[in-house]
Amino acid sequence: MLWALNALPNIGDTADPGVPIPLPPAAEPPAGFPDLADVTRSFLAVGGEFLVVEPDGHLVAMGGYRPDTGGGAEILRVRVHPATRRRGIGRALMTGLEQRAAGSGLRTARLDTATNQPAAMAFYQDLGYRETGRERQPGWTWTLVYYTKPLT
């Protein structure tokens, strides 16, 4: 189910009640996201966490962190099902990730999103993340935006 949630569009309407909540299982991990093929190895075994939100037995949100080499937490794969956005699920997920990272001694959180996801940019800024840089590559139609936040 993680693979199916990852494959839902992250671009477009912030909330889309037209997307069915029971997700059909994906047959293989999403291309370009090898860490989702083995969450245990990619997150848990390296000292991180991976959280899922499953009200009524349906996966509607996920995200994880893993320690980076500078004493911080790299937050990855934050996804909220389009039909459940704008209900506080993403905020609760991020709070959980940040608290667990801080509890394990990590001092900062860092993450990235892209300019073609303005709702995500606004969401992270509202959570207290500050932009630290941008990256654009030839062939990209978007710009990657990097954020950081101190953990308390």
Q: What is the pLDDT along the chain (152 residues), one digit of tens a residue?
A: 677 888 776 666 666 667 767 777 778 888 888 899 999 999 999 999 999 999 888 899 999 999 999 999 999 999 999 888 889 999 999 999 999 999 999 999 999 999 999 999 999 999 999 999 999 989 999 999 999 999 98
Q: Which CATH architecture has domain 2-107?
A: 3-Layer(aba) Sandwich (3.40)
From residue 97, alpha-carbon distances to 11, 74, 76, 77 in Å are 23, 10, 10, 12
> What type of residue sits at position 141?
T
